[in-house]
Amino acid sequence: MSPADRGSGARALPAASSAPKPAPAPTPEALERAAREDAELMTRFKKGDARAFELILARHRRGVFNFCFKMLGDKAAAEDALQEVFLRVVRSAKDWERQAKLTTWIYTIARNHCIDALRKASHRKTTSLDHALNEGEEDALPLGDRVPDEEGIGPDRGAESNRMRVVISNAIAALPAEQREVFVMREHAGMPFKDIAAVVGVPENTVKSRMRYALEHLRESLRKAGITKEGST
Amino acid sequence: MSERDDSRLVEYLYGELPEDEVRAIERDPESLEDARELAALLSVVREGDPGLDPPAFLDAKIMAEARQVAEAAPKSAWRRWLTTPVLGGLLAATAASLFVVVNIAVLDRPADEALAPTPASAPAQVQASIAPGAVAEPMAEAADQADQAAPVEAAKLEEERVGAAADRSARAEMKSGLDALEDARKQQDLRPRREAAAKRNTDKDSAFGGDGLGSAPRGDVASGRAAGAKAGKMERQTAASGAETEKSREDSAAGEKSKKATSGDDDRLVGGLAQARREEASDESVAAPAKEASPPKKPAPDPNPAEPPAEAAPPRPAVRAPALAAPPPPPAGPVAGPATPAPPVTSLARLSDAEQPAKNETLSKTAEAKKGGAADVRRVAEAEVEIARAQALISAARLDEAEQALVRARAALSNTPGGARIALRLGQLLLSRKKSEAALNAARQAASWTDEPTIRQQADALAARAKP
């Protein structure tokens, strides 16, 4: 039974109008202003203003945390990674040059940390099906419960939201790492493709292509999970 | 689908595609359908997975580290001064102390030098300094001040003294230098003073027991050329009852002093042989006395505190004293300077008359300056500056300005014997410049400001020449 044949068992994607509504993207001016503010805050911190770094942390902690969480797949590891990344930022602040974009710099550190952490974890850790993927979430389900069954996500609306989240999280986690990092940096950190390309170290068109493949993979995963554009679960 | 198409589709989804390409995508049904599905997918993903907020407690450690780094960050200068007032205060106090010390040193030096050419002290003291037995009292007063400075440098100077105590052979050379000085004295009719000096020399030998020469560096002491200078110093030290404050100064100019000591021109022994050597050097270039005038600021130790040194700060061989006391210039006028570029002092020296008594005043001037008021010292220093300027101007044939400088010097020492000498020189300059009336006035001033017979005679002679 193909996902397309699931019929009513699939949740419908939002019905698109004649022309799809493009995802809201920050304007270039807003991005430039944000980068300028970041640079100003970092300069103040380098001169001894600890309050400036508090603002930097407030601006980027969520994006970095989600990036690490999606990359590592473990909340505790993401928390450790968040701390480690910002501690590195603090300790390396004196080496930061104003010409470098702060966002790019921070996510480069975060990406390197995640790569190292994954490399270390790959040698000693295996995930059980009873292990909750989203640790720390009260409603986190064991991994075995998150695998969509043949009937797709159940009709219970309250549980549907959780199941939807699980499906999406699983779909993202199942992405190849190079597509996942691009997707997360774009969707959760709101970074422009140009900056993502700088972090990843590939051309911008390659980043966009990876994003395209990531979306295709997600669509396929959701389709397999019974989520279709035509109907609800 | 090519990478280019992927890029366009993604740009379309995120609203980064140019308007014309947006229309191109929307015109293509396949692309449009694809874009619709992906846009819907993104909406579902954003809705279903909005992301997590990290726990707040994570920030504590990060911010603690950030504060630590921020505190270690270099602060601006004014912030450092504000946040470290103690350090700032210490630095300010150090700077102020240095400033005061340097100022004192700078003020002290011209004061000593200025005393040599400007007879600002009372004529009675000048006469007393000429008298063989009258030297001790003013010098002893000045020596009291030297006693205060002596302990400060005692350790350092003691070390020097011990290090040089082994130079016994040098003492023999100094004896010979002393003999040479003795010969020089014989050429002058100063037998009573010579006898007094010999007596002091004997006292000195017994007082220092061979160590009195020890403060001199070995190399200098061993130098044969230094023998005469050392002998002169020893004699002065004897007269001063052990004061050694000028020892290092004497050492620095030992070679030249040796020559001077044996030149045979010494006719003034009162106040120490160093004074006599300065007089002998008056005919030489200024370079030699200049070395004497800038001795190292190394106070001599007090080898025998029980025996008060008679010379607190022994008269520094003044740079300009010999020049001012030099023989007068030829009647042709002071403009005629030496053929070779000579120091300004020499030019003025030719302008002045022989003023041998002035040389004898140096010692007493020094002593008086040490105990005199700051105002006198300042006046003397001002006069000295003006005299030096006048000398330089005369060398440069700028006689108008030289005249003004002498006028200012005279004003600084008005109604004093020193002022009388300056007035006399000013009168000579004026007379050489055909300003007879002004020269006459200057000569009268010179005669009225001093009781020195020599100056008065010269002033009278100048007045006679200046009379129309």
* Cβ count near B163 (within 10 Å): 14
Domain extent, residue A227, equals: 128-233
Number of domain units in chain A: 2
- The pLDDT of residue A69 is 92
**Residue range A98-107: average pLDDT?**
87
Digit-coded pLDDT (tens) for B262-313: 344 434 333 333 444 444 444 443 333 333 333 434 333 343 433 333 333 3
- The pLDDT of residue A138 is 42
Q: How many CA atoms lie within 13 A of B67 on its CB side?
A: 6
Domain assignment present for A23: no
pLDDT confidence tier of residue A80, bands split at 50, 70 and 90: very high
Taking contacts as CB-CB distances below 8 angstroms, the residues of chain A near B75 are 47-48
Strand pairing report for A227-228 and A11-12: parallel
The answer to whether B420 and B404 are in contact (CB under 8 A) is no
Digit-coded pLDDT (tens) for B72-120: 876 665 666 666 667 777 888 899 998 888 887 776 665 445 444 444 4
Which of A104, A125, A146 lies at the terminal end of a domain, its last residue? A125
Which of A60, A91, A125 lies at the terminal end of a domain, its last residue? A125
Query: What's the CATH code of the domain at A135?
Result: 1.10.10.10
A and B: number of Cβ contacts within 8 A: 162
Q: Say which DSSP state B418 is in.
A: H
- The pLDDT of residue B161 is 55
Digit-coded pLDDT (tens) for B141-152: 444 554 444 444
Domain assignment present for A117: yes
Angstrom CA distances, B364 to B106, B128, B206, B261, B368, stand at: 21, 9, 26, 21, 6
Indicate if A225 and A136 belong to the same structural domain: yes
Domain assignment present for A22: no
Domain residue spans of chain B: 3-47, 135-313, 326-360+368-468
Indicate if A73 and A46 belong to the same structural domain: yes
Digit-coded pLDDT (tens) for A175-206: 999 999 999 999 888 888 989 999 999 999 99
Q: Say which DSSP state B150 is in.
A: G
- The pLDDT of residue B180 is 54
Give residues 41 to 60 of A whose Cβ lies within 8 Å of B: 45-50, 53-54, 57
Partner-chain contact A188 B11, CB within 8 Å: no
Give residues 72 to 131 of B whose Cβ lies within 8 Å of A: 73-76
- The pLDDT of residue A1 is 37
Indicate if A134 and A231 belong to the same structural domain: yes
DSSP string, A126-147: ---TTSBSSTT-TT--BHHHHS
What is the share, in percent, of chain B residues with pLDDT greater than 90?
0
Indicate if A109 and A147 belong to the same structural domain: no
Domain assignment present for A7: no
Which of A125, A142, A159 lies at the terminal end of a domain, its last residue? A125
Q: Which residue intervals of B341-435 are DSSP H helices?
A: 344-351, 356-371, 374-395, 399-412, 417-432
> What's the CA angle centered on B83, arms B80 and B87, to 5 degrees?
75
Q: Which residue intervals of B116-217 are DSSP H helices?
A: 123-130, 136-149, 154-164, 168-186, 191-208
Distance from CA of B82 to the nearest CA of A (A): 15
Indicate if A135 and A229 belong to the same structural domain: yes
Question: Which portions of chain B are predicted below pLDDT 50?
Answer: 111-112, 114-143, 146-152, 155, 162-163, 166, 189, 204-355
DSSP string, chain A: --GGGGGGGSEEPPPP-SS--PPP---HHHHHHHHHHHHHHHHHHHTT-HHHHHHHHHHHHHHHHHHHHHHH--HHHHHHHHHHHHHHHHHTGGG--TTS-HHHHHHHHHHHHHHHHHHHHTTT----TTSBSSTT-TT--BHHHHS--TT-S-S-HHHHHHHHHHHHHHHHHTS-HHHHHHHHHHHTS---HHHHHHHHTS-HHHHHHHHHHHHHHHHHHHHHTTEESSS--
Taking contacts as CB-CB distances below 8 angstroms, the residues of chain A near B16 are 25, 193
What residues form DSSP beta bridges with A227?
Answer: A11
What backbone torsions phi and psi does residue B371 show, to the nearest 5 degrees? -105, -5
Residue B292 to residue B278: CA distance in whole angstroms: 9
Query: What's the CATH code of the domain at A86?
Result: 1.10.1740.10
Residue A220 predicted with pLDDT over 80 = yes
* Cβ count near A140 (within 10 Å): 19
Domain assignment present for A12: no
Tokens of B398: 């700028």
Partner-chain contact A187 B73, CB within 8 Å: no
pTM of the model: 0.41
CATH number assigned to the domain covering B326-360+368-468: 1.25.40
Digit-coded pLDDT (tens) for A19-35: 555 555 677 788 888 88
